[in-house]
A and B are shown apart, each in its own frame.
Chain A
Amino acid sequence: MAKSIRIRAKAKGGEVAVKALMTHPMETGLRKNKKTGKKIPAHFIQEVVCKHNGANVMTAQWGAAVSKNPYLSIVLTDAKKGDTIELSWVDNKGKSDSAEAKVK
C-alpha cells in the first residue's frame, strides 16, 4: 500500500495549494455484492492528517460518504518553496499510509 497517495504542493501568490489523491475503495458498508447478496463490509478512510514541516496543519475526519479514491485539497498560507508537506491516512480497519512532497 505504499503508493496509495499522490500528493502535490505548489506555491503560487504567497500561498501553497496542497492537492492529494488517495487510492482507497471507500466502501460504505451499505452496498451489496450482486452475486452473493451479502453486504460488502464498510472500509473507508477515517482520518487524514496533513503536516507542514512536521507541524500538524489539518486533521480531517471522514465518513463513508467521501467518494472512492478520495481527492483532497487545502491551501496553506505560511508555507513556502522547499517546505515538506506530509499527508497520512488511517482507515476503519486500522490500515494507514503516508506520503511526503516538497513544495514546488
Chain B
Amino acid sequence: MQRRTFLQGSLAGGAVAVAVGAGLLSPRGVLAAWPESAFSAKSVQDAMSNLFGSADSKATDEIKIKAPDIAENGAVVPVSVNTSIAGTNKIALIAEKNGLPLAASFNLGKGTKGFVSTRIKMGKTSDVIAVVEAGGKRFSARKNVKVTIGGCGG
C-alpha cells in the first residue's frame, strides 16, 4: 500500500522522480519468485546457473526452434520452441549475444504441451538458445538468427 502511494506521489513529481522511484522500488518485494539474478546475468553461463542451478545442458535434436534465418527488425523476432521431451517443466529462451542474454523463462504445468511461442528482442546476430528442463535434466538447442537492425536500445 505504501508503495502505491509512493509511486503515485512520484508520478505527480515528474519524470525524474518516476525514474528514481522505479529504480528504488525494483520488484523484489512484489515478485519474490522472479529470478532477478538470472535476468541480470551478463553471460549465458551465469544466466543458466542462476536460473537452473547449473550451466550444463545436453544438446539434443528433440527441441525444435522456429525462428527466422534473417530478422530484419531485431526488436521483434518471433521464436517458437517445440519439444517432444517428456515431462518438460521449463523452457528458457536465451539470446546469446544480448547484453542480458536471458529473455524469458516459461514454467509449464500439468496439461501443457512442450511448446511456447513468443517474440523477443535481439541486439545483434547471434544464436537463440532454447533450454528445456525435464525431470531435473537440462537439454538445449540453438538456432542462428541474423539481425539486420538491432532491437536493444537506440
A72 near B117: Cβ-Cβ < 8 Å: yes
Give the nearest-CB partner of B23 in chain A: A41
With an 8 A cutoff between CB atoms, is B148 at the interface? no
Of all chain B residues, the one with the shortest Cβ separation from A19 is B117
Assembly CA distance A28 to B95 (angstroms): 15
**In the complex, what's the smallest C-beta–C-beta distance from A86 to chain B, in angstroms?**
13
Could you say which interface size class chain A belongs to?
A: 35 or more
A79–B103 Cα distance when bound, in Å, is 28
Q: Among A28, A58, A71, which residue has its beta carbon within 8 angstroms of that of B153?
A: A28
Q: Chain B contacts of A59 at CB under 8 A?
A: 33, 106-107, 109
Chain A residues in 8 Å Cβ range of B87: none
Is there an interface contact between A57 and B108, defined as CB atoms closer than 8 Å?
Answer: yes
The reply to whether A61 and B116 contact each other, CB–CB distance below 8 Å, is: no
Give the residue name and chain of the A residue nearest to B117 (CB): A73
Whether B118 lies near A73 (C-beta < 8 A) is yes
Task: List A contacts of B35 (CB < 8 A).
Answer: 61
Q: A57-B108, A58-B112, A67-B151 are in contact. List 18 more A-B contacts (CB 8 A).
A: A28-B121, A30-B153, A38-B19, A41-B19, A55-B109, A59-B106, A61-B104, A62-B105, A63-B39, A66-B103, A66-B121, A68-B76, A71-B78, A71-B119, A72-B116, A74-B113, A93-B25, A94-B4
